[in-house]
Amino acid sequence: MKYYAGIDIGGTNIKAGIVDETGKILIEDSIPTGADRPQDIVLKDIIAQVKGLAEKSGVALSGVGMGSPGMIDSERGIVIYNNNLGWRNFAIGPAVSEALGVPATLENDADAAALGEVVSGCAKGAKRALIITLGTGVGSGFVIDGRIFRGCEFGHMVIVRGGRPCTCGRKGCFESYCSATGLINMTREAGITEADGTVNGRTVFDAADNGSSKAQDIIDDYTGYLACGLANLINGLLPEVVGLGGGIAKQGERLLAPLREKLKEEIYKGLSLPRIVSCELGYKAGLIGAAMSARQ
């Protein structure tokens, strides 16, 4: 059995773990990122964290895999740009590899999470799996034949030309309609809130369950946009499984059932509808996937 360290670098915490080659986590922990500190200090923490975990677990590492948000050069193991961490051209891959004496890989965090779901989550064993995260933005990761397909930034695919402004500068992106932020905006614009006046990703689903037809209309709209973007990707990428992650996906069948109905109308004639499911691993997907990317 081979063992790998997986590191999921976030703006708030860095989660690390020792994972066996089948995707099972032996041991894990989390440390604060301290993103206001110089990157070399954060690097020292990461190395100490992994060394500590490897020691506790008592296994020898065959490699280290990292997942990071931002713009990544996976070939060279460099974080080119990460706004939340303040990193610029940070060659973290070579640095970690040198310090730990094993190969180190670096992937986009959404890609790593997608690989995690394919190794041991909602898309286990799928030859082609598309994992879409409906969070602050819309993240997308595609895994084909057990390997991460690098690229796949389909959150910024325009589906409504000239539509809602997106943070990326374009108008009408998939993300501007289908992120949790997009749904919360639609909910608030319709005047639907929690009792305390706040709005979150489940507010509109709860209101619909309580008989609000206005809430039902928003769910129809939202799942319509989601079906539009997903059908574009299903037609183009032919996934067997589409896994939805992030806060909105926790609504389960309240989201998935109407979505599947709309997708049947939208995908290319003759294609079978892929399995449309919720992701299963939560935060562990990034950790497991990062570790498993080191197997490649």
Q: What would the two tokens of residue 242 be?
A: 């589409």
**Residues in Cβ contact with 52 at an 8 Å cutoff, skipping those fewer than 6 apart:** none
Cβ atoms 127, 275 nearer than 8 A: no
Chain positions 17 to 56 lying near a copy of itself, rule: CB under 8 A, are: none
57 phi and psi angles, rounded to 5 deg: -75, -25
183 phi and psi angles, rounded to 5 deg: -65, -40
Q: Which of 21, 217, 266, 280 binds a copy of itself (CB under 8 A)?
A: 266
Q: What would the two tokens of residue 54 be?
A: 């490897």
Q: How far is the CB of 130 from a copy of itself (least distance, A)?
A: 11
- Cβ neighbours of 258 (radius 10 Å): 18
146 binds a copy of itself (CB under 8 A): no
Q: How far is the CB of 271 from a copy of itself (least distance, A)?
A: 9
Q: What mask, x for binding a copy of itself by CB under 8 A, covers residues 157 to 176?
A: xxxxx-x----xxx-x----
74 phi and psi angles, rounded to 5 deg: -70, -30
Q: Which of 2, 51, 88, 150 binds a copy of itself (CB under 8 A)?
A: 150
280 binds a copy of itself (CB under 8 A): no
Show the CA angle centred on residue 255, arms to residues 136 and 134, nearest 5°: 15
Q: How far is the CB of 147 from a copy of itself (least distance, A)?
A: 11
Q: Which of 3, 87, 205, 225 binds a copy of itself (CB under 8 A)?
A: 225
**Piece in contact with a copy of itself (CB under 8 A), picked from 31-39, 95-103, 107-115, 148-156:** 148-156
Would you say 30 or 232 has its CB closer to a copy of itself?
232
269 binds a copy of itself (CB under 8 A): yes
Residues present in the chain in total: 296
Distances, alpha carbon 145 to alpha carbons 116, 168, 210, 231, 240, in Å: 13, 31, 44, 21, 12
Interface positions with a copy of itself (CB under 8 A): 71, 80-81, 128, 140, 150-154, 156-161, 163, 168-170, 172, 225, 228, 231-232, 235-238, 266, 268-270
